[in-house]
Each structure stands twice: as C-alpha cells, then as structure tokens.
Amino acid sequence: MSGRRKIWLGFAAAVLVLAAALASGRPDDGTPLDPRSSGPTGLAGVVELLHDLQVHVDISLDLPDDTSSTVFVPLDLLNSERREAMLEWANEGGTLVVAGADARLHGLDAAGAGAADLFGPTSGAPECAFTAMDEVAAVRHGSWQGLVAPEDPIPSVMCFPVGTDTAWLVAFEHGAGMIVALGSAEPFTNRYLGEEDNAVLAAALLGPAPGDRLVVVPRPPIGEGDVGVLDLVPSGFWRALVLLGAALLLAVVWRARRLGPPVAERLPPVLPSAELAHSVANLLHRAGDRATAAARLRTDARSTACRALRVPVTIGNGELAELLALRAGVAAEQAHLALVDRPVEDDATLMRIARACAHVRVVVRSPQSHPGETTLSRDER
C-alpha cells in the first residue's frame, strides 16, 4: 500500500471516530438541559444552587397556581396547548424565562451569534439597565445566540448585545407579566455554571429572593404534540453528519483531481504461441506424461482432418481414418496412428505419432488433395 493511501485511510478513520464520538457523546453526559441530569449539559447544578438559596424548585409540566412564581423553560419542545396555557399564565402576571433562540414560546426572531462562538467560550457583559443584572458583571459560555427585540410599542430591555439591534437576553412585558427570552440555556448547565457570574445570573433570573418558587419545565413525553422526530435527535448527530459529508467531499475532490496526463495501463505480457507450445511440451516431457502429449497431437490432427474433409466432429475416429485414407491418399497405417487412440509404450512410439499427425496436417492442407463431398455417402457410413 502506498504512503499516500495510508495517510488518506488514516484520515478517514479519524473522521469516523470523531463523528461517532460527537454523535454518541460520553456515557455520563445524560440528557441535555435535563434538570435531573448531573452530566456536563444537565441542569442539576442550578437546581441545587437554588435549593441552597432557599428557593422552592419544582420540576413539572404543570403551571403553578399563583402568578408570583417563576417558570423556567430551558428547552421548548412543548405542544401548542401547553404554550397557550403558559402564555396565558404570564399574561395574568407570571414571569416566564424561556431559553433557546428558536423557541416558539417567546416568539422572537433568532439573529445568530456571528463570529462569537467560533472561538469557543467567551465572556460578555450585560450592558443594559435591567434591575436583575445589577449584580452580574460578566457571563461566560459558548452559545451567544442573538435575539431580535419585539417591535414597538412593547417595552423591552436588551442585555448582552451580540450584534446590531440584537442581544442574547431580551426581556419584555406580556400583559401583566413578563417574558425573559435567552438565546440559550448554556450558562445554567453544569459545565458553565461555575464560570464568571453565571451562577449570579441564574439566581437573579430564576430565584431572586429566598422563599420564591420556581417551576422548571422538563422535556415533555416523547411524541407529545409538536415534538417531532427530528427534535429527539441529539445535536451531536448533525455535527457528525456534517463532518462525514465534508470528509466525503474531500475524498471526491481528491479522487477526481489529476496531477498529470493519464498513464497507460501496463498489459500482461503476451507469450508467443511457439514458446507456449515449447513450454507445455517441456512440462509434459519432465513429467513423463506421454499419453497427454499424444492426446494433444491427435486432437489437433482430428480437428484439422474434419475441417478439410468437411465432416462433422462427431464422426468416429476409425471411420475418420478410413475416410482420410480413401479421399486424401494417406496411408491407412499412418491415418490410424494419427487419429485412433492407442497406448503409448515409449518415446519412440510418441515420435511416430507426432510424425503421423504432422503428415496428416500436411496432406489435408495440400492443394493437390481433393476431400470430395461435404457429407459421407451411404456406403461410407
């Protein structure tokens, strides 16, 4: 195997391993954004943090009875009925914290993160006049998805700007209540909760005072309402699919490119028939196989005689020998020796058979020979 092919095979194997790792994740990662998961992408840490701050935390799909509580939706996979119920609850005076740039619950347009997420986790300052951000100096994570503020006349506050007229946190009034929309819930995950003021941000938004009540909405049951099949596919699978597509594209480009003129393929060497016959004869001579040598000679002689006499190849050997003697003038002894199978006792007998076969070929190919009719007469049969 050439060195270049080994390099490409190693590259393909590395891509496959990386894709499998991204698709499956580590065994202890757990379900992403699950309030019960202690994996890097889980939210068990923020739940424990709020418990320590004397905040009553419930994990439930049901809304609280009073509007003085806060409802946190880290991942919007709700059906339309649950969304309408939550928006109605917020309209009556509740506070709804919704994470995810594509969440339908907050109804804002996603604007992307620009180049911020290309360099991994980065820090950002609130840069806004929002009371909940008074104690937050900086937040650090790697998913700065921007949101576009709702149109006027709805009052809104934009914190953590990520572009022109877009921000990672947008808070706006919804009836008598408030909706706080976040581009992602990544700062609240176990992996990033200890970074910068991420824990301070979680406490300020989800449980600002001891005795407050927070309801964390988990993933709904599989197949409920608007939860489609694609929503259940881990995000790592799509990254793995993109990597595999890129690897396939590179392989196609590599195989399609020619670095020079086409090279003619080397054909196998052609052995002249005379050398081939000589080689086979030597092999038979070394093996002492006189019977096979005689059979080869007689087969060639029979084929030549049948074509010359224009008779079918199914004719008997003895009958062909008599017909050859009658029509071509070959001696009967020579004809039988060349065409009829007989034991070969020694090399001298094999030489006589060879001479007889050669004589038959010469005679039937001679212009003076007149084979006669195409078919046999009734008497000759």
Q: What is the pLDDT along the chain (381 residues), one digit of tens a residue?
A: 455 665 666 666 666 656 555 554 444 456 889 999 999 999 999 999 999 999 999 999 999 988 899 999 999 988 889 999 999 999 999 999 999 988 999 989 988 765 556 667 899 999 998 888 999 999 999 888 899 988 776 778 999 998 788 999 999 999 999 999 999 999 999 999 999 999 999 999 998 889 999 999 998 876 665 555 665 666 667 777 888 888 888 887 777 766 677 777 787 777 677 777 777 777 877 888 888 888 888 888 888 888 888 888 888 888 888 888 888 888 888 888 888 888 888 888 888 888 888 888 888 877 555 444 433 333 433
Tokens found for residue 93: 């005076």
Q: What is the DSSP annotation of 86-131? A: HHHHHHTT-EEEEE-TT-TTT-PPEEE-TTGGGGSSEEE---S--G
**pLDDT at residue 380, as a whole number:** 37
Tokens found for residue 1: 């195997």
**pLDDT at residue 229, as a whole number:** 61
273 three-state secondary structure? helix
* Contact residues for 163 (Cβ-Cβ < 8 A; gap 6+): 111, 112, 114, 146
Tokens found for residue 52: 């320590």
Say if CB 353 and CB 339 are below 8 A apart. no
Kindly give the residue spans of alpha helices, DSSP state H, lying in the chain.
3-24, 44-52, 80-91, 198-206, 235-256, 273-287, 290-309, 317-328, 332-339, 347-365
Say if CB 339 and CB 322 are below 8 A apart. no
**pLDDT at residue 330, as a whole number:** 82
Upstream peptide bond of 343 is cis (omega within 30 degrees of 0) = no
Say if CB 76 and CB 113 are below 8 A apart. no
**pLDDT at residue 304, as a whole number:** 85
Say if CB 336 and CB 318 are below 8 A apart. yes
Decide yes or no: CATH 3.40.50 for domain 28-222: yes
Quote the Cα angle for 197-189-176, to 5°. Answer: 75
**pLDDT at residue 376, as a whole number:** 38
Cα–Cα distances in Å, from 278 out to 273, 283, 284, 341, 348?
Answer: 8, 9, 10, 23, 19
Crossing angle (nearest 10°) for helices 332-339 and 290-309: 120
The DSSP bridge pattern shows strands 56-59 and 70-73 to be unpaired
